Amino acid sequence: MEILELNNLWGEVKAKLISELPENAHPWINPLEVTGYDNGVLTLVTGQMMGRDLLKRNYYQSIVKVIKSVTKNPDSDFVIIFDENAAKSLKKENERLQKKVNAAIQKEQAMENLSYMQSASNLNLKYKFENFVVGKSNEFAYKVTKSVAENPASKYNPLFIYGNSGLGKTHLMQAIGHYTIFKNPKLKVKYTKTEDYVNDFISNSRNGIDTVENMSKFNKKYTNIDIILIDDIQFLESKKKTMAQMQHTFDTLYNKGKQIVITSDRLPKDIPTLTSALCSRFEMGLMVELTSPDKQTRVDIIKKLAKDNSFVFDEDAVEYIADNFSSNVRELEGAFNRVSAYADVSSEPITLSLAKKVLNCSINEKEISIPKIAEVTSKYYEVTTEELKSSSRNQKISMARHMAIYLTRELTGQSFVSIAEYYEKKHPTILFAYEKIQKDIKINKKMAAAAREIKQALKVI
Ligand code: ADP
Ligand code: MG
């Protein structure tokens, strides 16, 4: 029997004994330790010789009855062994276990606290550093943000993150919050959208008689913290009172040595409504820009999303999405979501043609004709277009033909019948070629590379 299981069994027996036996037996029961339960016999150890003898003499039947009722074994019995050392070492083991259990409880408590703090701070669980894909366009912003999270209010205060919509400003900003709470649960973090801050301020300052009290509550809420994360400051109302309040919040926190992080879709000087006092404050620390992700980062983001959500995307489906959603990560994610949701519902594999069908966006498709693909593919394989269209079974020629047919279907979405017409072949032949390459590409890297290079030559990627 496992020690924990054994302890549980004994715990139950002991509790029953305490409740059923008279009080004067308790001092002998309490120090008993359990060491085993084999073949229905419960072995107990005590460091008290008198306890062993008294229990056996006066309560033998009652104890057996209790053990039987707990173990549900009618043949139960027990022995009590006197052993001072065994009792001691068992006690140690029990203490060790208890410590372990306490630590587990504490950890659970800490996790509970953590999630409570995360929701109290207004943070979205998805926006953590580990979910942020780093690439050229955001590397600097990422590093700076991470450094602020590691050492708040030391180097970069305030930190001003700016850039177009959908590039990860909110994500990075909230990542600071998660990181801080995790590393140092004592620190208070507050994330607020500028809009919510403004509305909160307006509703508090409007309430007639309670104004002073309300305002002090408001101030406490936004200044009795260690890190404030103010999102989308471009939405700060141009009213004098709101500006003054923001300045007050900023100054209070700054003077207390607290970290301030602000985001905006543009630089402070380009926000026309901002007072010059606020503008100069926001410019005081470090300003970092997030720019549109480069191709590699876009590909990495889709791949990470696919991995995290257990979807398998064909390489060219990833490429296709990355090529068509190049300026905004939110839209890139949206495209990923649409394609994966469709694949999930239809149980179709995520191929280029599926991505195209779902996203319905055209990438110079009109320019990619069947003859154009034939021409570029024959050049790639160093065969002529006549050979490509012929019935030659020469390995190089039929390879080129199959690839051209596959690419035609993938890139133009033309029916197999029209492709068959162009190649003057029967429909099943075309279907066979398409399916063969589709399969081979997945397992043959050289072939996948060939398909990619031809697409590059066709300027579709
Ligand atoms: P912004 O605040 O700049 O408008 P968000 O932070 O809301 O942009 O980002 C939009 C979406 O794109 C979010 O779902 C976010 O998780 C995701 N996102 C942005 N950049 C990245 C990145 N580098 N890696 C992973 N996801 C990202
Ligand atoms: Mg945002």
pLDDT at 208 over 60: no
Q: What is the mean pLDDT of the chain?
A: 89
The conformation of residue 286, written as its DSSP 8-state character, comes to E
pLDDT at 72 over 60: yes
pLDDT at 89 over 70: no
Distance in Å, CA 447 to ligand 1 centroid: 34
The predicted model gives 96-110 an average pLDDT of 73
353 lines ligand 1 (CB under 6 A): no
Of the listed ligands, the closest to the CA of 231 is: 2
CA 385, CA 205: separation in Å to the nearest integer? 78
Question: pLDDT (tens digit, 9 = 90+) per residue, 279-334?
Answer: 999 999 999 999 989 999 999 999 999 999 999 999 999 999 999 888 889 989 99
Distance in Å, CA 177 to ligand 2 centroid: 15
168 lines ligand 1 (CB under 6 A): yes
Q: Which of 4-8, 225-229, 346-350, 447-451 has the lowest mean pLDDT?
A: 4-8
The three state secondary structure string of 67-133 is HHHHHCCCCCEEEEEECHHHHHHHHHHHHHHHHHHHHHHHHHHHHHHHHHHHHHCCCCCCCCHHHCC
Distance in Å, CA 392 to ligand 2 centroid: 59
pLDDT at 365 over 50: no
| pLDDT at res. 378 | 95
Check: CB of residue 362 under 8 Å from CB of residue 323: no
Pick from 271, 219, 220: nearest CA to 245? 219
Point out the ligand 1 atom lying closest to the alpha carbon of residue 332: 12
| pLDDT at res. 366 | 43
335 lines ligand 1 (CB under 6 A): no
Q: If DSSP codes are grouped into helix, strand and coil, which group holds residue 37? A: strand
Tell how far CA 119 is from the center of its chain: 16
459 or 39, higher pLDDT: 39
Q: If DSSP codes are grouped into helix, strand and coil, which group holds residue 262? A: strand
Distance in Å, CA 142 to ligand 1 centroid: 12
Q: Which helix (H) or strand (E) holds 13?
A: helix 3-20
298 lines ligand 1 (CB under 6 A): no
* DSSP-derived pairing of the beta strands 189-193 and 159-162: unpaired
| pLDDT at res. 361 | 59
| Inter-CA distances, 396 with 308, 393, 401, Å | 40, 8, 9
Transcribe 321-350 into DSSP letters: HHHH--S-HHHHHHHHHHHHHHHHHHT--B
The three state secondary structure string of 364-416 is CHHHCCHHHHHHHHHHHHCCCHHHHHCCCCCHHHHHHHHHHHHHHHHHHCCCH
Question: pLDDT (tens digit, 9 = 90+) per residue, 235-279?
Answer: 998 888 899 999 999 999 999 999 999 999 999 999 988 999 999
301 lines ligand 1 (CB under 6 A): yes
How would you label 255-286 residue by residue, b for 16+ Cβ within 10 Å and e otherwise? eeebbbbbbbbeebeebeebeeebeebbeebe
The amino acid at residue 340 is S
| Inter-CA distances, 120 with 116, 130, 225, 428, Å | 6, 21, 12, 62
User: Which residue's alpha carbon is nearest to atom 23 within ligand 1?
Assistant: 133
pLDDT at 190 over 90: yes
302 lines ligand 1 (CB under 6 A): no
Q: Which helix (H) or strand (E) holds 43?
A: strand 41-46
In the numeric block, the tokens 């330790």 are attached to: 33
pLDDT at 427 over 90: no
Q: Confidence class of residue 362 from pLDDT cuts 50, 70 and 90? A: very low
The contacts of residue 148 (CB under 8 Å, 6+ apart) are 155, 156, 157, 159, 176, 259, 261
Distance in Å, CA 232 to ligand 2 centroid: 6
128 lines ligand 1 (CB under 6 A): no
Of the listed ligands, the closest to the CA of 127 is: 1
User: Which residue's alpha carbon is nearest to atom 11 within ligand 1?
Assistant: 330
Question: pLDDT (tens digit, 9 = 90+) per residue, 110-148?
Answer: 776 677 777 778 888 899 999 999 999 999 999 999 999
* DSSP-derived pairing of the beta strands 159-162 and 286-289: parallel
